[in-house]
Chains A and B, each alone.
Chain A
Amino acid sequence: MHELSIASAIVEKILEFVEEKQIMKVVEVRLAVGELSCVEAEQLRFCISSITKETPMEDSTLEIEKIDAEVVCPHCSYAGRPKYWDDLLSSGPIPTLQCPECGKAAKPSQGQDCAIKTIKYVA
């Protein structure tokens, strides 16, 4: 469960900031999670709430913004949303690196990262 590693990194970073700025309470945290990052938002939410008990982050609101995947194709210069593989076994369509225009291999250009965007706090 790599969401716990990511959650620990988020909480560590924010608590570091809290200490540095002498913040009393964190009110809201906004994260941006890329569609290609393999980070599962609900698991991340659970991990963060589990490890922030009795910290200034406890009970803060967690907003998770999903960043869409985008690809660029070096063969035909296509840039935009990837081709999806609608698969009955999976809960949703799977983004692929097959160019939607020419079918050759495209490269991911957006949606691979997982980042803390903003935090709101009471000083």
Chain B
Amino acid sequence: MIETLEAAPDEIYDIELEHSLLEANAKLARDNRALLDGHGVKAVDFMGAIGSGKTTLITRLVEKLRGGFGVAVFNGDATTSDDADDIAEQGVPVVQIATVNGCHLDANLVGKALRKIPLEDLDLLFIENIGNLICPAEFPLGSKARVVVVSVTEGPYMVRKHPHMFLGAAVVVINKIDLAEAMDVSVERLADDVHKLKPDIRVIPTSCKTGAGLDEVVAALLAV
């Protein structure tokens, strides 16, 4: 026999929980940040769509920086270690963070990865998030600044289609500018769209193929 439970109004309790759901991650992110700051390590996280060139950009930046700075890379990927393998060829510590079914890195995963690298030998940590432009935005990881990578091959409306991603970013890299003409995409208009969302974002057009703009990205990251 099935009994249905109907509570009389005076049996219903109403309580205030005021529990923030993003706070648990935000707290872990602050812990990560404190650990990094304590070792004098500046972390920068990179977000962008699959194929925007995040891994190639990070590899080029590591090439330029590894002579003068201690650099490490965290590479978030759902399943493979292909990207991590590419970056590891640079001879710097790389941790592959496999999220399996998760669509974003979170502060807890990054915190675990922080225990696997020699923080005392490092100056810079690059964190490559999962290639996904919607989910990672609200999960801070503890980095000092966020870089969003968009490429001209993603078409002219990339920025306005994913506005949330840009609101928390300090630097936007518009990548693959060597293909802009072939794609008939205006780099200036993408940059205008970014500035409409957030006027103080630094926008840097780059090509990892020709090397254009990479020194400017290095300078911007050292300055954040």
Binding site for B on A (CB under 8 A): 1-2, 5-6, 9-10, 13, 17, 24-25, 27, 36-39, 85, 87, 89-90, 94-99, 103-105, 108, 112-123
B183 proximal to A (CB < 8 A): no
Which of B12, B17, B139, B164 has the most chain A CB atoms closer than 10 A to its own CB?
B17
Question: B182: CB under 8 A from chain A?
Answer: no
B19 to A13, Cβ gap below 8 A?
yes
Pair A116/B157 contact, Cβ less than 8 Å = no
Are the CB atoms of B18 and A117 closer together than 8 Å?
yes
How far apart sit A113 and B26, CA to CA, in the bound complex (Å)? 11
Residues on A with beta carbons closer than 8 Å to the beta carbon of B22: 6, 37, 112-114
| Chain A proximity of B12: nearest CB distance (Å) | 5
Closest CB of chain B to A23's CB: distance in Å?
A: 8
Q: Are A98 and B24 in contact (CB under 8 A)?
A: no
Chain B residue contacts of A24, Cβ below 8 A: 5
The distance from the CB of A81 to the nearest CB of chain B, in whole angstroms, is 15
CA distance A78 to B172 in the complex (A): 26
Q: In chain A, what residue has the closest Cβ to B157?
A: A89
**Cα separation A9 to B22 with both chains bound (whole Å):** 9
Name the 5 nearest CB pairs between A and B, nearest first: A105-B200, A2-B135, A122-B7, A97-B198, A116-B19
Give the docked Cα–Cα distance between A1 and B138 (Å).
Answer: 12
Which residues of chain A come closer than 8 Å to B78, judged between CB atoms?
none
- B→A interface (CB under 8 Å): 5, 7, 11-24, 102-104, 106, 134-139, 157, 160-161, 163-164, 167, 195-200
Inter-chain CA distance A104–B196, complex, in Å, is 10
Report how far A87 CA is from B195 CA in the complex, Å.
15
Interfacial chain B residues near A87, Cβ < 8 Å: 160
Among B12, B134, B199, point to the contact of A122 (Cβ < 8 A).
Answer: B12
For the complex with contacts A94-B160, A104-B199, 5 further pairs of A-B residues with Cβ separation under 8 Å are A5-B104, A9-B21, A85-B197, A99-B199, A117-B16
Q: A113-B22, A115-B18 are in contact. Are A121 and B13 (CB under 8 A)?
A: yes
**B196, A96: Cβ atoms closer than 8 Å:** yes
Q: How far is the CA of A97 from the CA of B17 in the complex (A)?
A: 30
- Chain A residues closer than 8 Å to B200, beta-carbon distance: 104-105
Within 8 Å by CB of B17, from A9, A27, A112, A119, lies A119
Contact of A96 among B15, B134, B161, B198 (CB under 8 A): B198
Please give me the residue from chain B that is nearest to A122 by CB atom.
B7
A118 & B14 in contact (Cβ 8 Å cutoff) = yes
- Which residues does chain A contribute within 8 Å of B14, judged by CB atoms? 118-120
Interface pair A10/B21, CB less than 8 Å apart: yes
| Residues of chain B within 8 A of A36, CB atoms compared | 164, 167
Complex alpha-carbon distance, A105 and B23, angstroms: 25
Q: B11, B13, B136 — which one has the most chain A CB atoms within 10 A of its CB?
A: B13
Shortest distance in angstroms between B122's beta carbon and chain A's nearest beta carbon? 29
Does A1 contact B135, Cβ atoms closer than 8 Å?
Answer: yes
Q: How far is the CA of A24 from the CA of B197 in the complex (A)?
A: 47
Residue in B closest to A1 when the chains form the complex, CB atoms:
B103
A2 x B5 contact (CB < 8 A): no
B161 touches A89 (CB 8 A): yes
Contact of A113 with B5 in the complex, beta carbons under 8 Å: no
Contact (Cβ within 8 A) A25 B198: no
Chain B residue at minimum C-beta to C-beta distance from A31: B21
